Amino acid sequence: MTSPTGRRRLPAASGSGPSPPGGSAPPEGQPWHTLPVAAVAELLSTSVATGLGPDDAATRLRAYGPNAITQRRRRSASRILVGQFSDFMVLVLAAAAVLAGVIGEPQDTVAIGAILVLNAILGFMQEYRAERALEALRTLAVASVRVRRGGVTTVVPGIEVVPGDLVLLETGNLVPADLRLTEVAHLRAEEAALTGESQVVDKLTVTLPDPHAVVGDRRNMAYKGTAVAHGRGAGLVVATGMATELGRIAGLLAQETGVKTPLQLRLTRLGQRLAGAALAICALVLALGLVRGEAPLPMLLTAISLAVAAIPEALPAVVTVALALGARRMIRERALVRHLPAVETLGSVTFICVDKTGTLTQNRMRVESYWVGRSAAEPPPPSVRTGPWPRLLEALALNNNVHLTPGGAPLGDPTEVALVQAAAGAGCDPAMAARRYPRVGELPFTPERACMTTLHRFGAETVAFTKGSPERVLSKCVNRLGTDAPGPMDVATVLRRADEMAEAGLRVIAVAFRQFPEPPDPVSPATVEAGQTLLGLVGLLDPPRPEAAAAVATCRSAGITVVMITGDHAVTARNIAARLGILDQDGEVLAGAQLGSLDPEELVRRAGLVRVYARVAPEQKIAIIRALQSQGECVAMTGDGVNDAPALQRAEIGIAMGLSGTDVAREVADVVLLDDNFATIVSAVRAGRRIYDNIRKFVRYAVTCNAAEVWTLLFAPLIALPIPLLPIHLLWINLVTDGLPGIALAAEPAERDVMRRPPRRPDENIFARGLWQHVIWVGLLMAGVTLATQAWAYHAGSAHWQTMAFTVLALSQMGHVLAIRSERESLFGMGITSNPWLLAAVALTVVLQLGTIYLPGASRVFKTQPLGVRELLICLAVSTVVFLAVEAEKWLIRRRVLYRAPAVTGPPSRPEPV
């Protein structure tokens, strides 16, 4: 069944009444916020008191599916397979196969057909794996949610929440689905992720009459992806997954079409230009052959084969293979690539704009220090039982809304969780304290009071514990608790100490208490929070990740600037940035208020200099990115909220948080960090540079070898030699000799200096930095040694001249692929075995090449003759010329005699494993 809103409905359970629609409005079309709570519960067939039954929840989960943002549909396997035969050059090969059959060369037809099938299988496997890699998004971790089912409070994965569930909310929670609120206790929500409004929203349960109220005005609703700022509450789930407001936005943002990378576009243009040149050369070769009296049909087939050999039709496929392999490798490094173009673009990143919390830091507050009485102290050992410490630890354990799981793990606001953990670490068991001193009242935190108070029964007395900002708490205190008893307090001294702790980057909380012989009546700030005794100050910090400083240093050596953009206070941001090496001692921290006062021109000028932005609004992130891009920078941006989605789309690389991020942020991002770790971004950049380097190596190898084949066939008639290669030889070289080692180059480990050179320009030509010169002279050299071998054998009267030319050309390419594993470093310095896949591909290619000569069946197909020992040794010796020449070229590059290589900085690093 479907509701009038077009969304699926559950079959009605027996005696349960109407079934829930699971959409943004009930079946009658009236918005949820205009209905009383009782009517909502009736429509959802649930209970405000007990929630759904477990069996009913399981039934609805099967009917509605997971509470998740759906991903775009994958291409089917059949579509991927058919796509392998749509390429222009594949059609040219097919035409060559038909022509070979027409002129009576069935072995060529079979060989070309096998080539087509093998190429299709390889391309299918790589594309299918790339598509499957994207599906890993579905397995990303989802936050747990407290729900009440059958009257029992339980914790379930957010992905298993269903319409009708009664969800319990508390400070720090992310709302897992769209809820109609049924209960609120000073509940306030941060909805900027959905509405863009920075102010927190006070929530209520009363019915709102306006059916056209915008999302931000529906104060009796809570929406998926928003966060509980403070207070507690409960609500009935009215929509999940793509039926939520968040899902609606995700559906709009997900309407993207596939795009080719700049590299793929450049390679496509390269192929088109080479095709034009190849057709002209082929026409010339055909004409020269006919002038020499060669048979027309064999010469036509040779010309077509030469065209196939001249055009590196495998380049787009190899690019896809390299990107897909790189994406798979990055998954192992905890980075999920959603769009393959991002893998290439990562190599060009010059600025990384990164959030502080959770990415550079551990996203878990930790008590760093205390100030108790007159002295500072590190967290006390469990044996501390004197002075103010016992009462202070009791305050930390009791004054909070942290929920303890059955296993004892605390859930709730990160600050309160840190305080509870500190108390537990010092020997005060929070669960035992809660049982011994039950809570009898609460004054929840409000921004106006900037503090929170809880009341507990201590035997015959009542004790109030208060925590909050030092200024507000101290204004309520009349003394402090000393070693033995309360004593006088110097407010100025305590505030000065609080300022010193804050300047060290700590979040400072003051803790106080007051004892009442009788429970206060009424429970109000005036009666409870006045006349208190200070227990001390607690300094908390979200500590930097241990690996973050090294990752920032790596970025610096790689010419990448790290910029921290955070909503935190400037003092805290400066401290963390200084610890990590992002900010120099006299570096500037630009606050959001200052940023808003800058005109666009001034922002562009300052953007290249500022390294830390604090108290930044979501829209200001886009302004920062635009300012950097206007200076020609390639920007990577991290984000986790829906409000970050425009910034993620604006940046060249959008990076979403896989653990703490919203589904919409993940949907629009190019890369998802599965561990929310900045060091993972650096690993992704390293992988991007490695992949681009390997693509360049394949271009260098394939285009040079193809050029050598063209020069060989073009110059042979000009120096009065017969056509040295048959069509089957060209096809063999194009598939096996070029293909196997070329694909193995995708597994080449990163070069030692990969993170010690400046980023490449995004508009850099693929043939920049000496590659086009290499293609020309090495192609000519390879053709020269092939023709020299042919000429020697031909004029010496050997009947094996064609086989020798075929062998020298194939083996020369093996020497070439070994030499170009690095553009600068010698093969012997890198280690011959550092890429075992390439070594195996070269060895296999050599064995297969010898098989075409010495295996009787293969020699008939390839029209070759077995070479004698002397002839084979000559072929092997001549083939090493290309290897030695390229090694000499790299020796000159290292000494900066040839080309302009990018400078490298910092100490050498070890090559990455394959």
**Three-state SS across 48-117?**
CCCCCCHHHHHHHHHHHCCCCCCCCCCCCHHHHHHHCCCCHHHHHHHHHHHHHHHCCCHHHHHHHHHHHH
| Cβ atoms of residues 858 and 808 within 8 Å | no
| DSSP output for 549-590 | HHHHHHHHHTT-EEEEE-SS-HHHHHHHHHHHTSS-TT--EE
pLDDT of residue 259: 39
Q: How far is the C-alpha of 464 from the C-alpha of 516, rounded, in Å?
A: 8
| Cβ atoms of residues 643 and 618 within 8 Å | yes
For residue 326, the surrounding DSSP H or E stretch is helix 315-332
User: Residue 678 phi/psi, 5° resolution?
Assistant: -60, -35
Residue whose C-alpha is closest to residue 43's, from 18, 61, 66: 18
User: Which residues are marked as active site?
Assistant: 355
Q: How far is the C-alpha of 866 from the C-alpha of 874, rounded, in Å?
A: 14
| DSSP label at residue 383 | T
Determine the distance from the C-alpha atom of residue 147 to the mean position of all C-alpha atoms in its chain, rounded to a whole number: 31
Peptide bond into 4 cis (omega under 30): no
| Cβ atoms of residues 266 and 766 within 8 Å | yes
| Cβ atoms of residues 512 and 532 within 8 Å | yes
Residue whose C-alpha is closest to residue 853's, from 785, 802, 813: 802
Q: How far is the C-alpha of 246 from the C-alpha of 106, rounded, in Å?
A: 61
CB atoms within 10 A of CB 412: 17
pLDDT of residue 741: 86
User: Residue 366 phi/psi, 5° resolution?
Assistant: -140, 135
| Amino acid sitting at position 24 | S
Cβ burial of 710 (10 Å; 0-12, 13-18, 19+) is buried
| Cβ atoms of residues 746 and 322 within 8 Å | yes
225 contacts: CB under 8 Å, gap ≥ 6: 174, 175, 193, 194, 244, 246, 641, 642, 662, 663, 664
Express each pLDDT in 103-148 by its tens digit.
Answer: 555 766 776 677 667 666 755 765 565 455 334 333 333 467 899 9
638 contacts: CB under 8 Å, gap ≥ 6: 352, 353, 354, 355, 359, 655, 656, 657, 673, 681
| Amino acid sitting at position 300 | L
| Amino acid sitting at position 412 | G
Q: How far is the C-alpha of 385 from the C-alpha of 389, rounded, in Å?
A: 6
HSE at residue 21, side-chain half, CA atoms within 13 A, is 20
Q: How far is the first Cα of the chain from the last one, in angstroms, to the nearest whole number?
A: 53
| Cβ atoms of residues 376 and 382 within 8 Å | no
Q: How far is CA 65 from CA 58, 161, 242, in A?
A: 10, 10, 10
Cβ burial of 435 (10 Å; 0-12, 13-18, 19+) is exposed
Buried/exposed code over 188-202 (b: 16+ C-beta within 10 A; e: otherwise) = bbbbbbbbeeeebbe
Q: How far is CA 692 from CA 182, 745, 766, in A?
A: 55, 11, 10
pLDDT of residue 18: 35
| Cβ atoms of residues 830 and 821 within 8 Å | yes
pLDDT of residue 12: 35
pLDDT of residue 185: 86
| DSSP label at residue 734 | I
pLDDT of residue 234: 95
Below-50 pLDDT ranges, the chain: 1-24, 130, 133-142, 196, 198, 252-261, 901-914
pLDDT of residue 35: 92
| Cβ atoms of residues 26 and 35 within 8 Å | yes
State the residue for tokens 């886009």: 622
| Amino acid sitting at position 414 | P
**Three-state SS across 224-287?**
CCCEEEEEEEEEEEEECHHHCHHHHHHHHHCCCCCCCCHHHHHHHHHHHHHHHHHHHHHHHHHH
Cα-based torsion angle of the residue sequence 21, 25, 29, 34 in order, rounded to the nearest 10 degrees: 130
Phi-psi region of 874 (alpha: psi -120 to 50; beta: other; left: phi over 0): alpha
User: Residue 168 phi/psi, 5° resolution?
Assistant: -100, 130
Q: How far is the C-alpha of 460 from the C-alpha of 465, rounded, in Å?
A: 16
pLDDT of residue 585: 75
721 contacts: CB under 8 Å, gap ≥ 6: 787, 790, 791, 794
Buried/exposed code over 443-470 (b: 16+ C-beta within 10 A; e: otherwise) = bbbeeebebbbbbbeeeeebbbbbbbbb
| Cβ atoms of residues 542 and 670 within 8 Å | no
pLDDT of residue 681: 84
Q: How far is the C-alpha of 812 from the C-alpha of 805, rounded, in Å?
A: 10
Q: Can you give the C-alpha Rg of the chain in angstroms? A: 35
For residue 46, the surrounding DSSP H or E stretch is none
CB atoms within 10 A of CB 826: 13
Both tokens of residue 837? 């896949």
573 contacts: CB under 8 Å, gap ≥ 6: 356, 564, 566, 589, 612, 613, 614
Both tokens of residue 579? 């610890």
State the residue for tokens 């005060």: 428
- The residue count of the chain comes to 914
Residue whose C-alpha is closest to residue 523's, from 438, 439, 443: 443
Q: How far is the C-alpha of 278 from the C-alpha of 700, rounded, in Å?
A: 18
| Cβ atoms of residues 9 and 55 within 8 Å | no
Q: How far is the C-alpha of 192 from the C-alpha of 187, rounded, in Å?
A: 16
* Long-range contacts of the stretch 262-270 (C-beta < 8 A, 24+): 262/344, 262/345, 262/762, 262/763, 263/319, 263/344, 263/692, 263/695, 263/766, 264/316, 264/319, 264/341, 266/765, 266/766, 267/315, 267/316, 267/319, 267/699, 267/766, 268/316, 270/312, 270/315, 270/703, 270/766
Residue whose C-alpha is closest to residue 71's, from 154, 133, 16: 133
